[in-house]
Amino acid sequence: MTDPITSPFGAFSTAREVAAGHDLTGRTAIVTGSASGIGVETARALAEAGAETILAVRNLEAGQAVADEINAVTKRPAARVMRLDLSDLASVRAFVDDWGGAPVHILINNAGVMACPQTYTTDGLEMQIGTNHFGHAALTLGLTPALEKAAAPGRTARVVQLSSTGHRRSDMLWDDIHYRTRPYDKWEAYGQSKTANALFAAGFNARFRDLGVTANAVMPGGIITPLQRHMPKEEMMAMGWIDEAGNTPPGFKTTEQGASTSLWAALGDELEGVGGLYLENCAQAPPADPNSRYGGVAPWALDPAGADRLWDVTRETVGLG
């Protein structure tokens, strides 16, 4: 077994620290969910490093406010906003159509929903896997020609899939992915969606690495962001994420620290030509320790057979069967 891939960075490195020294002039990056949370810091670091950065967001007003702030710092039109609702496959198709044929050098599938009540997307998919996985998968597959166009000798185009340590809560529920009959469990559903994110990265990488496009999954770390919008304070306290005053415990990250592994996956020289991995704390994650609740990667999240099965289900679900 080869040694795991590491970097000069660690759990509490910032996005700007990871991006430092990279000149992204002439390259284009798309970051979904970049109107709030770690998506803002991801987009900011890419734009400040020179990339044309597209904020793919549902809320255009919020996204434009972020773009204006970034452009004021960069003193150039580094960031622009495009509408994308990942819970509506028609919106995803419209985004791809509007994109046209321009190359995409970096695609960071950052947006997500977590622990929401049982709801369904416009297309009748369970909301968490429908948004976190199927919406992003449709976007990535639609933009694949643009990613292939961006590939160059010695420099792959990169897809970054944000997963989570929450993937350890559930493998794929193949018999009832969308909770049509099984009792809904918001954390199990979230875990399944994050497993799907990792499996899709593995499946995509296996199919497109030889065409110059690689994909990796990322665990950003524990961060309090709008992702927790469906969680009452009492629940977050019971889970040990915050105290009575709203303070986080040691080990939690700031949003800029939470964006660092996404930046490393997108830019790190150590990952040139390398994909199909699950990354955390700016390094390749170790196997999950069954004696610890957090960290590491469960075997089902990188299982080649699971990745192939999800690939087929995904193509059929998003209308590419």
294 is catalytic: no
Cβ contact 277:259 at 8 Å: no
Cβ contact 279:218 at 8 Å: yes
Burial class (CB in 10 A: 0-12, 13-18, 19+), 13: buried
DSSP state of 120: B
Nearest to 17 by CA among 256, 285, 217, 221: 256
Q: Active-site residue among 120, 179, 190, 278?
A: 190
Count, in order, helices (H) and strands (E) of the chain: 11, 8
Those residues with Cβ within 8 angstroms of residue 317's Cβ, 6 or more apart along the chain or in another chain: 125, 134
Nearest to 113 by CA among 2, 211, 8, 225: 225
Cβ contact 85:91 at 8 Å: yes
Return d(Cα 95, Cα 55) in angstroms, integer.
Answer: 12
Nearest to 293 by CA among 201, 222, 195: 222
- The packing angle between helices 304-317 and 186-208, to 10°, is 100
Cβ neighbours of 9 (radius 10 Å): 18
Cβ neighbours of 239 (radius 10 Å): 10
Cβ neighbours of 103 (radius 10 Å): 17
Residues tagged active-site: 190
